[in-house]
Amino acid sequence: MSDPINANPTIIDVSALPTRLSNTEEKSSRQQLLDRILALSLSSSDPELPLLTDESSEDEDDELEDTIDAQEVFDLISSISDPEHPLTLAQLAVVNLPDITVTHGNNKNELSEILIKITPTITHCSLATLIGLGIRVRLERSLPPRFRFRILIKEGTHQSENQVNKQLNDKERVAAACENDQLLSVVLQMLSTCK
Amino acid sequence: MDTAPDPAVLVYQYIAASTSGDSTSDYSSQLAQLWSGKTLSLLQFIQTLGPTLTSEDVSTRVISLQCFANTLAEVDSAVISKQDVGVLLQFLTSKLEDEKLSSSTLNALASLVKAKNFIPHVNNNLKDLISAVIKDYDPRKHLAKVRYEAFLLLEAIVEKHQDTLATNEEFAECFVNAFIHVASGEKDPRNLLLSFKLNAEINTKIPFQERSSNKTHDELLSDLFDVCFCYFPISFTTPENDPYKITALDLKKQLRITIASQPQFSRDAFPSLFEKLTSTNPAVRNDVLQCLLLCVNNYPAEVLEQYWLSIWDALKFEILHNDILTFQPEADFIIPPNYESLEETDDNKTLILTLVVLNSLIQKLTDSEMFPSIMDTVLQGLEANYKSLVGKTLKPAVLLLSAMGSSSVTFFNRVVDTLFSFEVWGHYIRSDYQEDTEEDKEIDIVLTTAKQRDLIDNLGYVLTAQKLLGVPTNLEIYKDHILIFMGQLLQTSSNIEKSLKCKIVLQLTKLVVLDTFLSADEVSLVLTWFSENIKALIEDSSAKGEPDVLLLRITKSLTQITSEGPEESIQYYINSVITIILPPLLERVSQPLVLSVINQICLNYQFLEVLSIRYLNKLSYEDCDEDLSINLIESLIFSFKQAQSVRPFLATSWYSKFFPRFFTISQKRFADNVYLLEISGSLLGLIVRFCDKTKHEQILHDMIDLFFEGKTLDGFNFEFEISKPSAKISLLKHILANIDRNCSISDESVDSITKQLINLIPNIEDQIIRLEYLQVLAVVINKLAVNREEQVEQILSDLSPKSQFDQSSFELSIWIAKGLLVRVSPRGVAFLNKLLLDLSNNPDLDYCRLILRSFNVLAGDVDVFSNDGKAGKIISGVTNLNVKILYKQQIFEICSPKLISDYSSSEKEEKSEIFLSTLSILIQNVSAKVINPHLEAILPLVLNGLYSHNSCILEASLQTLDTAITQSPELVKRDMESLVKKLVSLGTTKIVINKKVVNKENIRLLSLDCLIKIFTEFEEAKVRGLQVGLTQALAPGLDDKKRSVRKKTTDLCQLLHEMDR
């Protein structure tokens, strides 16, 4: 492979990244032990019995909704690998939580939009378009079809900002890129580390 | 008696069979028998063969001679007289002229050579034979198969007549000429293998004169060398259809042996090998080095004296100018053991082999008169490299010297004296160095950290060599200097220099474990340095919240010091660790990480004993808070188990000292703390299990006295009333669970204890405490009430619900039954059957659900009936569990058929749900082996259950399916397509009944989990095609209301996309 464009990037420690994944804290050994004992109890721990009652509720169903928010989008794309370093986009601060905006439609039948601004590690990064493509493929695969994505270069972080922005959001060019087997295999390589 | 067969008939039969391609061996054997039995003379035989032997038809001639050769191979050679030999030799050598017959002729000659009466001198037999071969056999005219016969003939001669060849120079020269004639231009691998072997045999068996004094021999040796070395290096791939399966390695090895078999080859071999060493192909270089190694090992020292310089010059650059990362300064070896298993194409193998060759060279020459001058040359040659601390070649040079030093004490001493002289490392390392002259000031005395690191690494190589030598050397002269140098560096270097400090710790550790190298005081000194670093690091790491690399390094070194080496030194080291390292650690136990350091270094009984006493003192202080107490107890449990696993010990003495004190402290100080009492109990239980078996009866009685009789005991300061529920019961639970199963108490006691427990338990409100009492009850029933079956049965029947249902009695009976079932008592089984009957017949759904939940207890793992760690005999001889290994299987075998049939015939959905859920609980608790035979019967229920609109049934079905996918994939895969479809719909689309979601979040997750399992656990071939269109089908899941479901769907999609690649 040719020399990396940015051979010495700044790296953020994984543990310092905002995430919702694995935030469910591990139970202390103490709680585990007590739980193990309590599991032997015959008293029912599940208050939801009895079943099949005819209770009616207003809603279509009785579940509360967790709306798709910026954190969720960040978690989806943060673990994408950088094409030239063995690091993730979040570790390199290419994607940052504050640079993600989710605009929901009024209901699930209307379009929603996600705007992501990416920060290239250096201003002449030629891989910005590839990174953008990777993010787009990941989101298209992971979010419902009602979402539209706009991926832009963060203002003032790239020499040819407008050009890259155009390329990133040009449907035809994205579609053409996805037809290119070699390009696609690089993208898949980037996505293979997704958590 | 049968008349003997007619030879003529046999010959014709042979010819006929051979022509039609049938087996001919039968006929030649019969001919050989006739000949051996003297029924047939040689003359008669030849006469019989006569017409065919001279036939115009080539194929007839060939078959005829073949018949002769085969017969000759089998005949008893005693019947062939000396005269016969002469006749046959003449006959056969004349046949050599007939090219078509060569194969059989050579074969027959080989048999003839082996004959008893073939005497080389008589009638000039051997010479005639060899001359004929040289004259009339031209290898270039024949196929590999025929050439093979020629080699076999030569092999037969060497085997049979090696003494003649060794003593008769004329014969020997003649034979070597024949070999060179036969072997020249050979290409077939099988023939080559034999050619190399014969060449080596010639070299070892025939005494050649000094080349310079005997021109003939000189030429012969040159030819012998050429006829083998021309193949070097061999690159060969075994053809696929090769019947002999000869590999490149076979050929390479034999060729190396051949080259190394003749010291007089050295003149040609060394230069040729060095030339090949310039190859860029590592496989070739490794081949060269292995050949060189064999030569060095086989050639006598006199030859090596002549060539050592050229070998050294050719090899040293391999190390000097290469990356030598593979040689770790901290390792215990320079040449890695089992380096031979490295790939032939590995560049590192080249480096290692280079050192191995040099090692052998030094070993061979160490007694030579030339050795001092050899050492001079080597050291002077490398002077520029090792003298400069800046150059890149310093480390390789020291590696070379250390590696060579590791095979000769003389060499090592010389190396050490040179390296530690003031001109080299002395002025950095030696404390007796005085900079008083002006010139000295010009030398750069200041070592940068990078140079310090290099210096420590280089010292490491020297120490490794010392370790490998294992005898006293001059290194002892510089011992103090080295020690002080490293010690000062460790103390004074900045804390940021982790890698330097780690390197120092590694080398100091190496010094400590160098047998008898350091004195006791010196070891203590090293440990003090370690201790001081630990103290500083603990503060540091505690602030950071994670262990420091240096701390980990030192901890590891301490475990190494206290576990490696001879017993006496270890004892001493352990004592030193206890007196030097442990006290400052104990002062800091409240700091995080300290306990983990202690846990790691507690590897033996002595340490553990000290630790237990110190911990106990800490625990007894009021200022030892709950968290610290928990940490201390957990640390002690860990250390106990660890020390036990390193070397088993008896804890009998602990029962009289540690046990009562700890018992008293824990129940006094933490009277209400369930968790603390629980872990205290585990520690006490652990100690009991490792007390000698003979002590157990007493322990049991003591405990009964303490807990049930209200008695006081010496050492135990304990107040307990069995009529009042208390968390202290956890202590008893663990102790009883670990008492040997053969201990007993009187029947009256058993009855009274059972009664007291049964009366008390229903009144205990706290769930956890009640469960602790219930477990005690189960253990009592299980181990102590073995002879009270009838009474227990009575209790069970008294407890059985009469008209009104009573949950606490039911719970009691379940636990009593658990005690019975684990030892597969018939009464326990009867209870189980009754329970199953109730489950299917009782219309009270609440009661049925209670039964359902009781299977968590009946089939589940309960601490008191299982030991953690590996099973098997322990040192105390105690068998604490009274548990039949197959009890779960028994429960499962009883329950599953009944539950399956109940489910199939059930009409009410609620009941079906209960049957299926019960089955699911059983499946989750029983090992795969037990379930497997039943899965076929269970699976239809499960698959059926997936179509239910009842959450509980769905959940139970999915859980069972999950188990089935892992454990019995063959069964699941039968109906994969519809299963996948169903799981997708369960995972992504909601089933809403009465405005309530049936497939709740956890069910959707379970379905997706099952799908992920299907696509990860099954071989790709089995699921290929199933993923087509699945990502589209899963799309609704991406918009699920629950984030966890969306996430899992994304994971599954990602997995499917990756499969598509």
Whether the pLDDT of residue B957 is over 50: the answer is yes
Q: Tell me: the pLDDT tens digits for B394-434?
A: 889 999 999 999 989 999 999 999 888 888 888 777 777 66
The whole-angstrom distance between B1053's CA and the closest CA on chain A is: 7
Whether the pLDDT of residue B782 is over 90: the answer is yes
Task: Flag whether residue A183 sits within 8 Å of chain B, measured between CB atoms.
Answer: no
Element (H, E) at B282: helix B282-298
- How much is the pLDDT for B440? 47
- How much is the pLDDT for B1021? 62
Task: Flag whether residue B777 sits within 8 Å of chain A, measured between CB atoms.
Answer: no
Whether the pLDDT of residue B436 is over 70: the answer is no
Sort B618 into a burial class: Cβ within 10 Å, 0-12 / 13-18 / 19+. Answer: middle
Last residue of a domain, one of B32, B57, B79: B79
Last residue of a domain, one of B470, B486, B511: B470
Most A CBs within 10 Å, among B1041, B1052, B1060, to test the A interface: B1041
Closest listed residue to residue B707, CA positions, set B696, B726, B695, B721: B721
- How much is the pLDDT for A58? 38
Last residue of a domain, one of B79, B100, B127: B79
Task: Flag whether residue A13 sits within 8 Å of chain B, measured between CB atoms.
Answer: no
- How much is the pLDDT for A88? 86
pLDDT tier, B242 (very low <50, low <70, confident <90, very high otherwise)? confident
Three-point CA angle A175, A179, A183, nearest 5°:
105
Most B CBs within 10 Å, among A28, A34, A41, A42, to test the B interface: A42
* Chain B (674-733) residues lying within 8 Å, Cβ to Cβ, of chain A: 674-675, 678-679
Which chain B residues contact residue A55 at CB under 8 A? Answer: 994-996
Which two tokens mark B858?
Answer: 């009946």
Q: Tell me: the pLDDT tens digits for B505-528?
A: 999 988 888 877 888 888 889 999
- How much is the pLDDT for A194? 79
- How much is the pLDDT for A54? 38
Whether the pLDDT of residue B946 is over 90: the answer is no
Closest listed residue to residue B119, CA positions, set B152, B77, B161: B161
Please check whether residue B911 lies inside any domain of the structure. Answer: no
- How much is the pLDDT for A50? 39
Q: Tell me: the pLDDT tens digits for B42-86?
A: 888 888 888 788 878 888 888 888 888 888 888 887 888 888 888
- How much is the pLDDT for A56? 37
ipTM: 0.84
Task: Flag whether residue A144 sits within 8 Å of chain B, measured between CB atoms.
Answer: yes
- % of chain B surpassing 90 pLDDT: 24
Whether the pLDDT of residue B289 is over 90: the answer is yes
Please check whether residue B784 lies inside any domain of the structure. Answer: no
User: Structural domain tally of chain B?
Assistant: 2
Domain A66-191 has CATH 3.30.70.920: no
Instruction: Supply the mean pLDDT for chain B.
Output: 86
Closest listed residue to residue B418, CA positions, set B375, B455, B482, B456: B375
Sort B568 into a burial class: Cβ within 10 Å, 0-12 / 13-18 / 19+. Answer: exposed
Whether the pLDDT of residue B1060 is over 80: the answer is no
- % of chain B surpassing 70 pLDDT: 96
Q: How many CB atoms lie within 10 A of CB B910?
A: 16
pLDDT tier, B801 (very low <50, low <70, confident <90, very high otherwise)? low
Task: State whether B1038 and A194 contact (CB < 8 Å).
Answer: no
CB B666 within 8 A of CB B676: yes
Residue with tokens 């049930």: B708
Task: Flag whether residue B908 sits within 8 Å of chain A, measured between CB atoms.
Answer: no
CB B74 within 8 A of CB B29: yes
Task: State whether A49 and B811 contact (CB < 8 Å).
Answer: no
Helices B909-925 and B951-967, axial angle in degrees (round to 10):
30
Which of A21, A61, A141 shows the shortest C-beta gap to B990? Answer: A61
Task: Flag whether residue A7 sits within 8 Å of chain B, measured between CB atoms.
Answer: no
Task: Flag whether residue B230 sits within 8 Å of chain A, measured between CB atoms.
Answer: no
The whole-angstrom distance between A35's CA and the closest CA on chain B is: 9
Which of A56, A144, A145 shows the shortest C-beta gap to B995? Answer: A56
Q: Tell me: the pLDDT tens digits for B300-346?
A: 998 999 899 999 998 988 888 888 888 888 888 888 888 888 888 88
Q: Tell me: the pLDDT tens digits for B143-193?
A: 888 999 999 999 999 888 888 888 888 888 889 999 999 998 888 899 999
Please check whether residue B894 lies inside any domain of the structure. Answer: no
Most B CBs within 10 Å, among A40, A61, A77, A181, to test the B interface: A40
Task: Flag whether residue B321 sits within 8 Å of chain A, measured between CB atoms.
Answer: no
Task: Output DSSP code: residue B243.
Answer: T
Which two tokens mark A129?
Answer: 């378009």
Which of B853, B993, B1038 shows the shortest C-beta gap to A144? Answer: B1038
Sort B746 into a burial class: Cβ within 10 Å, 0-12 / 13-18 / 19+. Answer: exposed
- How much is the pLDDT for B56? 81
pLDDT tier, B1 (very low <50, low <70, confident <90, very high otherwise)? very low
Q: Tell me: the pLDDT tens digits for A57-89?
A: 334 566 778 888 888 899 889 889 888 887 888
Element (H, E) at B124: none
Task: Flag whether residue A16 sits within 8 Å of chain B, measured between CB atoms.
Answer: no
- How much is the pLDDT for B988? 85
- How much is the pLDDT for A57? 38
Which chain B residues contact residue A21 at CB under 8 A? Answer: 1047
Which two tokens mark B913?
Answer: 């749900």
- How much is the pLDDT for A21? 62
Mean of the pLDDT values across residues B209-229?
90
Task: Output DSSP code: residue B3.
Answer: P
Whether the pLDDT of residue B452 is over 90: the answer is no
Q: Which residue of B has its CA nearest to A65?
A: B1041
pLDDT tier, B818 (very low <50, low <70, confident <90, very high otherwise)? very high
* Chain A (110-139) residues lying within 8 Å, Cβ to Cβ, of chain B: none
pLDDT tier, B232 (very low <50, low <70, confident <90, very high otherwise)? confident
- How much is the pLDDT for B670? 83
Task: Flag whether residue B807 sits within 8 Å of chain A, measured between CB atoms.
Answer: yes
Most B CBs within 10 Å, among A24, A37, A74, A141, to test the B interface: A37
pLDDT tens, residue order, chain A (195 aa): 445 566 566 777 666 677 766 544 455 777 778 888 888 887 755 444 334 433 333 345 667 788 888 888 998 898 898 888 878 888 888 888 889 999 988 887 888 999 999 988 888 878 888 888 899 989 988 888 889 889 998 888 888 888 888 888 888 888 888 888 888 888 888 888 877
Q: How far apart are CA B182 and CA B203, in angstroms?
A: 16
- How much is the pLDDT for B829? 92
Task: Output DSSP code: residue A184.
Answer: H
Range of the domain at B320: 300-470
pLDDT tier, B817 (very low <50, low <70, confident <90, very high otherwise)? very high
